[in-house]
């Protein structure tokens, strides 16, 4: 296995403070020692490395940006660097952390009552409870506003019914944040323990992507929950989309890690692989063009992520800017992985190198949390004032 060398052409490290560098280095060391040695086997076997969760909780990786309730209270830039290092290992483990933190703990923190926060946040932080986020349905992916899931009121309870599809961690979660329409037609967020009668989770098998991550479909057959399980501050689809802002931000950093790993692998490989007159392929102009493209785009992506992170830490990041980050960086990472795979020739399709796994993972990452084209339309709407979805 090739030893990773940092990718920093623009002196990004000099723009980070001591705490940020420390968080990055600690996470990097943990990923090197614990995730990278096992991840190829996990991906091949389609196994989520659950045994890593206690150590990740101890490192403060769950709900890392939240204050109190046992959470680490990291800045958004520190959190971004954590996501970068995790995804350098694998997008699947980063996905798990995104969901647990941004899509389960964040809505409870932002929209929950104090009793809900006290009950769930410390247990989610410690990894005792795992969560999932159910927004997408079989017929409503890019357009969640069309959702059919219902929460009917019946005395002191809600009765939830409907289907959710492509749900990360669905079958391993003890708690599901389910988005559904109430009797007035308003979309709300509901906390559903997954052992309640009528709740079913089934894993989606046969994925060629994110193989080390659990993805499930959920069926809710008249699942009864107390009225107090509704998130009181979640009002309408906008609240679900606010959670997506948090997750999309983390993805924008995470994919830089996958790209850095692919680029560095290709650079090292090109240095020792010789073709034509015993010349390293790195000495061929066309190979250099690919390496330069990757290094150039990674550098721009790093600066974009850091700037959006600084804005977020000041409470100034706009959803459109987060779309810019998610759209650009996922595209950059996927294109980097494809070029790296090309440079590795036949070895690019082998599991001896991490490139193909990253490339396949990134096909999901560019699709979930809003596809590339949906983010184009979000940015287009912000620029022109005209929505072009329909």
Residues that bind ligand TGC (CB under 6 A): 95, 98-99, 133, 135-136, 142-145, 168, 236-238, 241-242, 244-245, 247, 319, 368-370, 374, 378, 389
Residue nearest to ligand FAD (CB): 141
Q: Measured from the CB of residue 251, what is the shortest distance to ligand FAD in angstroms?
A: 11
User: In whole angstroms, what is the distance from residue 95 CA to residue 210 CA?
Assistant: 9
Minimum CB separation from ligand TGC for residue 150, in Å?
Answer: 18
Calpha distance 125→132 (Å, rounded): 14
208 binds, among ligand TGC, ligand FAD, none (CB under 5 to 8 A by kind): none
Q: Please give the positions annotated as active site.
A: 369
215: which strand partners? Answer: 168
Neighbours of 72 (CB within 10 A): 18
With CB cut-offs between 5 and 8 Å by kind, which of ligand TGC, ligand FAD, none does residue 320 bind? none
Q: What does residue 193 show for φ and ψ, rounded to 5 degrees?
A: -70, 135
To ligand TGC, the closest distance from the beta carbon of 340 in angstroms equals 22
165: left (phi over 0), alpha (psi -120 to 50) or beta: beta
**CB of 82: closest distance to ligand TGC in angstroms?**
14
Cα separation, 173 vs 287, in Å, equals 45
Which partner in ligand FAD, ligand TGC, none is near 378 (CB below 5 to 8 A by kind)?
Answer: ligand TGC
- CB-wise, 109 or 368, nearer to ligand FAD? 368
The sign of the CA dihedral 338, 340, 84, 329 is negative
Q: Which residues of 35-70 are buried (b: 16+ CB within 10 A; e: fewer)?
A: bbebbbebbeeeebbeebbeebbeebbbbbbbeebe
Q: How far is the CB of 144 from ligand FAD (least distance, A)?
A: 8
Nearer to ligand TGC, 58 or 145 (CB): 145
What pairs with residue 193 in β-bridges?
175
Selection from ligand FAD, ligand TGC, none that 280 binds (CB < 5 to 8 A by kind) is: none
Q: Which residues pair with 218 in a beta bridge?
A: 164, 201
DSSP string across 353-366: SSHHHHHHHHHHHT
Mutual orientation of helices 36-45 and 355-365 as an angle, nearest 10°? 70
Nearer to ligand FAD, 29 or 145 (CB): 145
The three-class DSSP label of residue 177 is strand
Closer of 86 and 374 to ligand TGC (Cβ): 374
Query: Footprint of ligand FAD on this chain (CB under 6 A)?
Result: 99, 133-136, 141-142, 166-168, 210, 215, 364, 367-369, 371, 373-374, 389
> How many Cα atoms sit within 13 Å of 339 on the Cβ side?
26
Provide the CA 85 distance to its chain's centre, in angstroms.
12
Nearest to ligand FAD of 136, 265 (CB atom): 136
The whole-angstrom distance between residue 163's C-alpha and the CA centroid of its chain comes to 22
Interaction partner, residue 244 (ligand TGC, ligand FAD, none; CB < 5-8 Å by kind): ligand TGC
Residue 145 interface partner, choices ligand FAD, ligand TGC, none, CB cut-off 5-8 Å depending on type: ligand TGC
Comparing CB distances to ligand FAD, the nearer of 166 and 249 is 166
Q: From the CB of 265, what's the least distance to ligand TGC, in Å?
A: 24
């Amino acid at each position: 296995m090739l030893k990773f060398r940092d990718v920093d052409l623009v002196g990004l490290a000099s723009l980070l403070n001591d705490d940020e560098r420390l968080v990055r280095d600690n996470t990097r060391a943990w990923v090197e020692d614990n995730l990278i040695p096992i991840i190829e086997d996990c991906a091949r076997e389609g196994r989520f490395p659950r045994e890593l969760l206690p150590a990740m909780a101890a490192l403060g990786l769950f709900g890392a940006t939240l204050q109190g309730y046992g959470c680490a209270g990291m800045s958004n830039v520190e959190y971004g660097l954590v996501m970068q290092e995790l995804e350098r290992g694998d997008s699947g483990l980063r996905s798990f952390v995104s969901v647990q933190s941004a899509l389960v703990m964040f809505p409870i923190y932002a929209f929950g009552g104090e009793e809900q926060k006290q009950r769930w946040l410390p247990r989610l932080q410690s990894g005792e409870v795992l969560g999932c986020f159910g927004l997408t349905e079989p017929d409503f992916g890019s357009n969640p506003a069309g959702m059919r899931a219902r929460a009917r009121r019946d005395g002191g309870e809600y009765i939830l019914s409907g289907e959710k599809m492509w749900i990360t961690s669905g079958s391993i979660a003890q708690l599901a944040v389910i988005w559904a329409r109430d009797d007035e037609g308003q979309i709300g967020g509901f906390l559903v323990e997954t052992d309640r009668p009528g709740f079913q989770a089934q894993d989606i098998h046969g994925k060629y992507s994110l193989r080390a991550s659990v993805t499930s479909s959920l069926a809710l057959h008249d699942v009864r929950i107390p009225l107090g399980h509704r998130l009181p501050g979640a009002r309408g689809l906008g609240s679900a989309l606010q959670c997506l802002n948090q997750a999309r931000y983390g993805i924008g950093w995470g994919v830089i890690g996958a790209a850095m790993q692919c680029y560095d692998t290709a650079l090292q490989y090109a240095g020792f692989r010789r073709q034509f007159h015993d010349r390293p392929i790195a000495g061929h102009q066309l190979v250099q063009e690919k390496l330069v493209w990757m290094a150039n785009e990674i550098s721009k992506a790093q600066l974009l992520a850091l700037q959006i992170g600084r804005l977020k830490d000041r409470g100034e990041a706009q959803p459109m800017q987060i779309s810019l980050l998610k759209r650009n960086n996922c595209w950059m990472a996927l294109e980097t992985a494809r070029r790296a795979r090309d440079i590795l020739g036949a070895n690019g399709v082998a599991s001896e190198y991490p490139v193909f796994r990253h490339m396949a993972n990134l096909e999901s990452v560019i699709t979930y949390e809003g596809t590339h084209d949906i983010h184009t339309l979000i940015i287009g709407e912000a620029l022109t004032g005209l929505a072009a979805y329909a």
